[in-house]
């Protein structure tokens, strides 16, 4: 029996882009913001109800964030939640021009 070796492919650094999602950059940014929110909740040992009491955002929002159900959230709403938890968001933008090959 011959063992097939898996091919290793270097990723782009954005799993959503690697998987071919159309809005990969937005999805990555939302995931990064959600991860920061979860870090704050864990560090401060906040339940979703305690997070609601502290920020005024619905407890269900924190449950959705913990479950990575980010479809209902906009980037600015996630940033507002980060700010309400006492953290600040710093965004650095690097625009990379994409050249598309023209089919002959």
CATH number, position 73 = 1.10.260
* Number of domains forming the structure of the chain: 1
Given a cut of 80, whether residue 4 has pLDDT beyond it is no
Q: Give the model confidence (pLDDT) of 20-73 as tens digits.
A: 999 999 999 999 999 999 999 999 999 999 999 999 999 999 999 999 999 999
Q: State the pLDDT confidence band at 10, using cuts at 50, 70 and 90.
A: confident
Residue 3 within any structural domain of the chain? no
Nearest-angstrom CA–CA distance, 77 and 72 = 10
Residue 104 within any structural domain of the chain? no
Range of the domain at 62: 21-84
Q: Is the pTM of this model over 0.85?
A: no
Residue 90 within any structural domain of the chain? no
Residue 103 within any structural domain of the chain? no
Residue 101 within any structural domain of the chain? no
Q: Give the model confidence (pLDDT) of 84-98 as tens digits.
A: 999 998 988 888 887
């Amino acid at each position: 029996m011959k063992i097939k070796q898996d091919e290793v492919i270097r990723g782009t650094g954005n799993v959503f882009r690697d998987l071919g999602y159309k809005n990969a950059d937005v999805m990555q940014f939302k995931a990064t913001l959600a991860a920061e929110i979860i870090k704050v909740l864990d560090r401060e040992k906040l339940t979703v109800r305690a997070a609601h009491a502290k920020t005024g955002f619905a407890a269900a929002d924190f449950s959705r964030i913990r479950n990575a159900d980010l479809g209902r959230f906009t980037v600015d709403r996630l940033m507002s939640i980060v700010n309400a938890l006492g953290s600040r968001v710093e965004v650095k933008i690097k625009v990379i021009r994409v050249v598309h090959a023209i089919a002959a």
